[in-house]
Amino acid sequence: MSILVTGGGGFIGSNLVSQLMANGKEIHVMDNRRTEKILSFEELNNNDQFKFHNIDLLDKESLLIPKDCKTIFHLAANPEVRIGATNPEVHFSQNVVTTFNLLEAARKNDIEAFIFTSSSTVYGDALTTPTHEDYSPMEPISIYGASKLACESIISSYAHTYGIRAVIYRLANIIGEDSTHGVIFDFINKLTNNSTELEVLGDGTQNKSYLHISDCITAILLGVSSANRRVNIFNVGSKDQIIVRDIASIVIDEMKLAHTKMKLTGGVDNGRGWKGDIKNMLLDISKIESLGWKPAYNSAEAVRLTTKRMIPNLIFSR
């Protein structure tokens, strides 16, 4: 049976597609735009192993599940957490509505497994860290986090009502050299434009878990193969944290800038970078670890590796 991946042209999606194809799977990618990553897939795999469907998940009429598909990896979403504070409808439509539309198509086509990438932001300002999957109360502080938690609830209801096996991953900050957003991407671009000063949103003490994309993909595939409950939820992240100020120092160091000054904006709400920014995040990953997975890189190592590989990509693309 083939596998459907929504958002297969995105950062995590494209890396997942590459690994699934390397494993010999037949992949259908559903995305609303033809990215360079999608085109490279077609060029490298000019055969029946890969099929691209230019479909917007908001368009219910054109949302057709391939007949031979029994597994869906749903990664399509708007990943920009900050935009929710000024335009909350974006996350409602592109995250919640699209998930509902896809689930409707899935249950009408007897899909057996539905895999969803959620977020650590569903926990909000958790009072307990590392935060376990059973933590409560779930109080997201961003529209993005709320939209992801809403998606989890809808998926759970469809799983129990229609007999679909659901696997939900609450991801920490996933980073890698081909990412097109996030703190490392922003820092490199800022320093490329002005190497004398680096603006850092917030007070610089925001302390979070960062996981390299290679570790993330390994965890996702292991969880799918091992999950045996109707609804399976896994935290996926590193076992430690790194503060934003130290990330900035790593980027400055890797760009070999000796005289760059850091400018902390001070942020909002006691040092947050923006409304909805979580200051302290560390996930309890013991559940996914019990299946035999562990991250190859800690947070600092993942940040340095990503920075080292991302710098030439961004500079040479200008």
Q: Is the pLDDT of residue 34 over 70?
A: no
Assign domain 2-174+210-236 one CATH number from 3.40.50.170, 3.40.630.10, 3.40.50.720, 3.30.1330.60. Answer: 3.40.50.720
Output the pLDDT for position 37: 72
Q: Per-residue pLDDT tens for 242-292?
A: 999 999 999 999 999 989 999 999 999 999 999 999 999 999 999 999 999
- Calpha distance 250→236 (Å, rounded): 23
Residues facing 168 on adjacent strands = 116, 233
Q: Specify the pairing of strand 27-31 against strand 2-6.
A: parallel
252-257: long-range contacts, CB 8 A cutoff, minimum separation 24: 252/191, 252/198, 254/304, 254/307, 254/308, 254/311, 255/188, 255/191, 255/195, 255/311, 257/191, 257/195
What residue spans define the domains of the chain? Answer: 2-174+210-236, 177-208+240-280+297-316
Q: Per-residue pLDDT tens for 86-114?
A: 888 999 999 999 999 999 999 999 999 99
Give the least confident one: 37-46, 117-126, 205-214, 284-293: 37-46
Can 2-174+210-236 and 177-208+240-280+297-316 be said to share one CATH topology?
A: no
Q: Which residues contact 233 (CB under 8 A, 6 or more apart)?
A: 133, 152, 168, 169, 170
User: Percentage of the chain surpassing pLDDT 90?
Assistant: 82
Q: Per-residue pLDDT tens for 202-257?
A: 999 999 999 999 999 999 999 999 999 999 999 999 999 999 999 999 999 999 99
Instruction: Please check whether the domain covering 177-208+240-280+297-316 is classified as CATH 3.90.25.10.
Output: yes
pTM value? Answer: 0.95
Helices (H), the chain: 11-22, 36-44, 88-91, 98-108, 143-162, 183-193, 213-226, 244-254, 286-289, 299-316
- Calpha distance 176→165 (Å, rounded): 29
- The pLDDT mean for the chain works out to 93
Output the pLDDT for position 290: 97
